[in-house]
């Protein structure tokens, strides 16, 4: 029997971003890509991200959070998922602030309300080799990439940002006017992105408001993506399109994003919802590697 069988999990969402939180602190257990795919296939537990809380690796952190996309691939950051992790970690006490480790570094989480949390997503990485890009673009506010006819491209000149994951943001008049299901996989896997990329279609409504849709690397079209919202705000500020604080509207709801000038950190604030808690059915892991 898979050792994860019968372990308790929480099914949650952050403005529609489907999240499963699995707290393995104190268990000595870990999760493989096969395990993550098995959890995603289990009845009622389909997720965009699986957030696995493991033992801390530094004294100031509550734990180390490993993030899986539903294809079993790992993600460096997930803002909506980190808010869900913060809820699970803070719900049984009066703590208002916790630090967690991820592959993207230490992230501070603060409770702003009963079900509202703020995550410090750290500094954006803007250099072409940090994102990373295949080619040495020295101005990542707009890189040379387009799809469609060369004289009438469908999309072109995206901004590129790494917010724990690589992001490409295309600036458009209407994000809903494009078949993201069709163009998303093509762009995610474009050779210019050696680690693949999250693909966003964004429109600046006002200097304090961005609307966007996201094709998430390893997931597909999603109702929300916190790191993409952060990347879009950073890219908009760099292009002079918005102020440093803005509301970012995604199909699942709104986030408040701030790119703080004092330390270059990006802060994301938004709600979470606990849908239900259950235990992992042993049958979910039949056929998965142990």
Q: Which residues are catalytic?
A: 78, 225
Kindly give the interhelix angle for 226-238 and 79-90, rounded to the nearest 10 degrees: 130
Which pair of structure tokens corresponds to residue 281?
């059915």
Q: In degrees rounded to 5, what are phi and psi of residue 194? A: -65, -25
Q: Provide CB contacts within 8 A for 242, sequence distance 6+.
A: 204, 207, 208, 209, 210, 233, 236
Q: How far apart are CA 232 and CA 193, in angstroms?
A: 17
Integer Cα distance of 268 and 96 in angstroms:
16
Please give the backbone phi and psi of residue 99, each rounded to the nearest 5 degrees, phi first: -110, 140
Q: How many CB atoms neighbour CB 255 within 10 A?
A: 27
Q: What is the three-class DSSP state of 199?
A: strand
Q: Please name the residues in contact with 8: beta carbons below 8 A apart, sequence gap of 6 or more.
A: 23, 277, 278, 279, 280
């Amino acid at each position: 029997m898979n050792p994860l069988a019968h372990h308790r999990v929480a099914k949650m969402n952050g403005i529609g971003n489907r999240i499963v939180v699995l707290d393995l602190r104190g268990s000595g257990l870990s999760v493989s890509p096969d395990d993550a795919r098995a959890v995603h296939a289990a009845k009622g537990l389909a997720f965009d991200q699986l957030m696995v809380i493991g033992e801390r690796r530094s004294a100031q952190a509550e734990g180390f959070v490993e993030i899986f996309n539903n294809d079993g691939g790992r993600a460096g950051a997930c803002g909506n998922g980190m808010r869900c992790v913060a809820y699970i970690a803070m719900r049984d006490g009066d703590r208002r602030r916790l630090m967690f480790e991820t592959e993207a570094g230490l992230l501070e989480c603060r409770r702003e309300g009963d079900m509202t949390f703020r995550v410090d997503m750290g500094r954006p990485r803007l250099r072409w080799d940090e994102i990373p890009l295949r080619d040495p673009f020295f101005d990542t506010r707009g890189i040379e990439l387009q799809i469609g006819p060369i004289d009438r491209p469908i999309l072109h000149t995206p901004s590129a940002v790494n917010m724990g994951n690589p992001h490409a943001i295309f600036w458009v008049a209407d994000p809903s006017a494009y078949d993201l299901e069709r163009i998303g996989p093509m762009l995610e896997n474009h050779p210019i992105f050696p680690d693949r990329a999250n693909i966003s279609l964004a429109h600046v409504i006002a200097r304090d408001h961005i609307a966007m849709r996201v094709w998430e690397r390893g997931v597909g079209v999603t109702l929300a993506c916190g790191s993409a919202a952060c990347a879009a705000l950073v890219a908009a500020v760099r292009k002079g399109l918005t102020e440093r604080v803005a509301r970012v509207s995604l199909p699942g709801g709104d986030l408040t994003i701030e790119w703080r000038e004092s330390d270059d950190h990006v802060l994301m604030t938004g709600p979470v919802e606990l849908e239900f808690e259950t235990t992992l059915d042993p049958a979910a892991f039949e056929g998965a590697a142990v």
